[in-house]
Chains A and B, each alone.
Chain A
Amino acid sequence: MKIWRMAFRNILRMKRRSLITTLAMAFALGIMIVYSCLMDGLVHDMEKNATMLEMGHVQIHAPGYLESPSIYKRIEDPESLVASLQNAGFHASYRLFASGLAARGNASAGVQFRGVDPTLESDTTRLPHHLLEGKWLDEKEPKNVVLGKRLAQTLSAKVSDEIVVVSQASDGSIANELYIVAGILKSVGEIVDRSGLFMTVSAFRELMVMPEGSHEIVIAVPPEQELQDALPAIKKIAQGLDVKTWEQLNPALAEMINSADAFLIPLIVITYMAIAIVILNAMLMAVFERIHEYGVMKALGVGPFSVFRLVLIEAFIMTHGAAILGLATGVPLAFYLETHGIDLGIFAQGATISGVAIDLVWRSLVSVSSILMPLIFLYILVLLGTMYPAIKAARLKPVDAIHHH
């Protein structure tokens, strides 16, 4: 087609400007692809950390427990509840909580005892694999405990150190015991980091004189299932109990994760505005330089629409080039960051957002939409940026244009 050939030659005529315009578009596209994949990765990681690390997707408590926790507000028979949940296809683990004091040498700290079933917890959350040092609890070693990261620092406790705990048991007696630190967790979240002291369920029951019941059941919904779809089944099993999703449990975090896309908007706007200006400028210059030429073409009988098309095709040839270049650099980079990530460890020792730890390696998450959206956006922008010069060229009056020098 003739019009394509003309458009091509017009582009080659101003090699430098065309190259700069194309490179600017390619750069913007590449950046936007990488950035949106990184944002998706961040959201995905936060969601995974928020849920899989400790919180689970859904938690069950006795009515009123969350509003004012008390050792006496219990879920009766958590073992059979967990079994029912497992039968329904969920991963579930029950937990027992109480507060007290822990001491080692001269150091002491307020702690939250957390009785967990080591095996069920392993099946449900990633907590057992989130160790900084040492090992996770073992039913066969009831004297072993695992500490939150900052709690261990406060107590200057290392693996194999002994610590003493004191509390008031559920029957009112003084609970008093000696434990061995088996492991120390990496950063999990504010509360666990500062005060979490994990022990086996049986150790907890003995310490607190609480032979049955639990305070919390944490549930993980298998990845192939949507949380909202799973909820009714869970509620049915946990009738009469307080069932809450992680979004209800930590609304601030849920809000942040859901609105993470909003971070993207200012950057998108700024980047693309800059690109729109580059394109508009380049196409305006191209059109103004050629007013005379368009006038001649119109005098020879080229219709307004064909002139409009010529300008648009010129812009879109450059955009195609930019798209190929931008995809060829942006997509591999996004994939590279998916496997290797950006190591934020050099900036911070550990980071939390809304009380939940985030990974120190920021990985991108490549998806079709993260690639397509910036691409579509680029094309829309080029269309918008070229519209005015193209209309201007199309509407030139041949006489004025021919006598324009």
Chain B
Amino acid sequence: MGSLIVRMKDVIKTYQLDGVSIPALRGLNLEVSAGEFTAISGPSGSGKTTALNIIGALDTPTSGIVEVEGKDLSSLSKTELAKMRMNRIGFIFQAYNLIPVLTAYENAEFVLVLRGMPLMQRREKVQAILEEVGMADMMDRRPDQLSGGQQQRIAIARAVVAEPALVLADEPTANVDSKTADSLLDLMEHMNKTHGVTFVFSTHDPRVMNRSDRLLVLRDGVITEDILQKK
């Protein structure tokens, strides 16, 4: 196992909704090392999305420590957090979340533009990744001209193209049929094995859980099982 990418210690997250406290995470402890292909499973409402959002610095915990690559997130400013997301973390969302005004190519390119990568280098990388996700022939289409599975392929390309330390995927296959889900998982696995990208993804689909190397079971905001799987 490689170096530690994520460390969560006693993380508590309580939402406040109309004066009511809703506990989502109740003392979560978690460590993820470089190169892992880890699934977080659990029933709806168990806190999967909350946990991923907190790791990805999209949300802040009520208490506890969150470190990404050894950096305590609570010590970083908003701009520094944005920088960290841009440079170190890739996101794949359940609802694909491509930017509608940009073409498939431009969506995949987006993070590289943010990073200020020169055009020629960018073009090379984006071309290569689109080939890899099998979308090279549709790169000029806008998201609304692509199927859900195709959009998610672009989203995967976008998440990994900048070679982040960590890709977080919140139920990436929940909106597609099982055949498409399989092929998306093939793709993610391929990225993990050939590029060494660390993946943490959530799912409540047993078929998807079984494809991870490591399975964490979340229940009521705490991890109840941590299983290393052999396939």
Contact = CB atoms under 8 A, between A and B. Distances in A.
A296 B98 CA distance: 8
A297 B113 CA distance: 12
A300 B100 contact: no
B91 A299 contact: yes
Interface string A14-58: 000000000000000000000000000000000000000000000
A301 to B, nearest CB: 2
A299 B102 contact: no
A293 interface: yes
Interface string A380-405: 00000000000000000111001000
Interface in B70-108: 78-79, 82-87, 91, 93, 97-102
Interface in A349-405: 397-399, 402
B101 A301 contact: no
A2 interface: yes
Given A9-B101, A304-B78, 18 more contacts: A6-B99, A6-B101, A9-B102, A13-B100, A296-B93, A297-B99, A299-B58, A300-B91, A300-B110, A301-B82, A301-B84, A301-B85, A301-B86, A301-B87, A301-B114, A302-B86, A302-B114, A304-B82
Interface string A293-322: 100111111111000000000000000000
A402 B101 contact: no
Interface of B: 53, 56, 58-59, 78-79, 82-87, 91, 93, 97-102, 110-111, 113-114, 158
Q: How big is the A interface, by class?
A: 20 to 34
A292 B101 contact: no
B102 A402 contact: no
Contacts of A301: 82-87, 111, 114
Contact of B58 (A13, A297, A399): A399
Contacts of A176: none
Contacts of A170: none
A271 interface: no
Given A304-B79, A398-B58, A402-B58, A10 B86 contact: no
Summarize A's interface: helix, strand, loop or mixed. Answer: helix
A402 B93 contact: yes
B85 A10 contact: no
Contacts of A6: 99, 101-102
B85 A300 contact: yes
Listed from nearest, the 3 A-B pairs whose CB atoms lie closest are A301-B86, A9-B101, A301-B85
Interface string A279-299: 000000000000011001111
9 contacts: A6-B99, A6-B101, A13-B100, A299-B91, A300-B86, A301-B84, A397-B58, A399-B58, A399-B59
A293 B58 contact: no
Contacts of A298: 82
Contacts of A303: 78-79, 82-83
Given A298-B82, A399-B59, A13 B93 contact: no
Nearest to A298: B82
Nearest to B80: A303
Nearest to A290: B100
A300 B58 contact: no
B101 A299 contact: no
Contacts of A302: 82, 86, 114
A69 B8 CA distance: 100
Q: Output the residue of A9, A300, A399 with the most chain B CB within 10 A.
A: A300
Nearest to B59: A399
Contact of B97 (A2, A9, A296, A304): A296
A292 B99 CA distance: 10
B111 A299 contact: no
A32 to B, nearest CB: 33
